[in-house]
Amino acid sequence: METTIHRQLKELYAPDASGCEVSVDGYRIDAVDGDRLIEIQQASLGAIRDKIRTLLESHDVTVVKPLAARKYLIKRARKRGRIVSKRYSPVRETIWHLFADLVHFVNVFPHPRLTLEVVFTEQEEHRLPKKKKRWRRKDYRVEDRLLREVTGIISLETVDDLIDLLPASLPAPFSTADLAREAEIPRWLAQKTAYCLRKTNAVTLAGKDGNALLYEVVSEARRAA
């Protein structure tokens, strides 16, 4: 079922309704802007990997990946029932959270015809209690998500765009512990980031420091050689 935020983003990228939900080469496309196809993906990028790879053979494509820079949580006792609580989530997604998903898309991105547009949003998330609660599982289900505001956009097209995201204070070479410290992110997220950078040839292995792998940035001239 389509969420409200997905529909809102489609309308943002294709204000003309005729440009939404268009069939192209046997695929349903969220929006079309001139000759460019636009696919909005809230779920895993891996779910559209094969679709995008095929479309890139003959089309320019923009994949829009919304991240929740801020989320306002509204919980109801039941559907259309009274509101139990309202609060902002302490969790805020940053550009680094993209890499947790990009690990499933590195065999597609980068591509000369592909733009990956990361849209930072303030979202409103409506929650309902689950009928059956399971141990260590969430006791709610998400009924809908709404777009309150677009707070920023980062467009990624090349390997250098990924390299530009790295903190200027990062040592050379660097480990995932260095990246976690300088970017102020968990180690597991730094490891996923390093994996994406290595798979896209943004960095290469530069040895070890004890058991920790070291990485160095690959210059544009070196990649072109």
* pLDDT score at 134: 63
Question: What is the C-alpha to C-alpha distance for residues 66 and 123, in angstroms, rounded to an integer?
Answer: 10
pLDDT at 122: 97
69-83, 121-135, 158-172: least confidently modelled range? 121-135
Which pLDDT belongs to residue 129?
A: 87
**Residue 17: is its pLDDT beyond 80?**
no
pLDDT band at 34 (very low <50, low <70, confident <90, very high): confident
Of the listed ranges 58-67, 93-102, 197-206, 216-225, the least confidently predicted one is 216-225
Please give the average per-residue pLDDT across 204-208, as a whole number: 93
pLDDT band per the 50, 70, 90 thresholds, residue 53: very high
Instruction: Report the predicted TM-score, pTM, of the whole model to 2 decimal places.
Output: 0.89
Query: What is the four-CA torsion angle of 66, 196, 159, 67, rounded to 10 degrees?
Result: 10
Higher pLDDT, 77 or 157: 157
Q: What is the mean pLDDT of residues 193-204?
A: 96
Q: Distance of CA 221 to CAs 22, 173, 179, 203, Å?
A: 40, 18, 24, 13
Instruction: Name 97's Cβ contacts closer than 8 Å, sequence gap at least 6.
Output: 67, 189
What are the strands, taking DSSP E only, across 107-209? 114-129, 140-156, 203-209
Task: Say which residues have a Cβ less than 8 Å from residue 84's Cβ, sequence separation at least 6.
Answer: 75, 76, 77
As a whole number, the mean pLDDT across the chain is: 91
Q: Apex CA 40: angle with CA 129 and CA 90, to 5°?
A: 45
Going from N- to C-terminal start, the domains of the chain cover 1-157, 159-225
* pLDDT recorded at residue 109: 96
Which pLDDT score, from 0 to 100, does residue 223 have?
Answer: 60
**Cα dihedral across residues 145, 148, 152, 155: positive or negative:** positive
The most distant pair of C-alpha atoms in the chain lies apart, rounded to whole Å, by 64
pLDDT at 136 over 70: no
For 159-225, CATH number out of 3.40.1440.10, 1.10.10.10, 2.40.128.50, 3.30.70.100 equals 1.10.10.10
Report pLDDT for 197: 97
Phi and psi at residue 143, in whole multiples of 5°?
Answer: -80, -40
The pLDDT confidence band at residue 83, using thresholds 50, 70 and 90, is confident
Per-residue pLDDT at 221: 47
Name the more confident of 186 and 141. Answer: 186
User: CA dist 132 to 129, 136, 197, Å?
Assistant: 9, 12, 41
Residue 78 confidence (pLDDT) above 50: yes
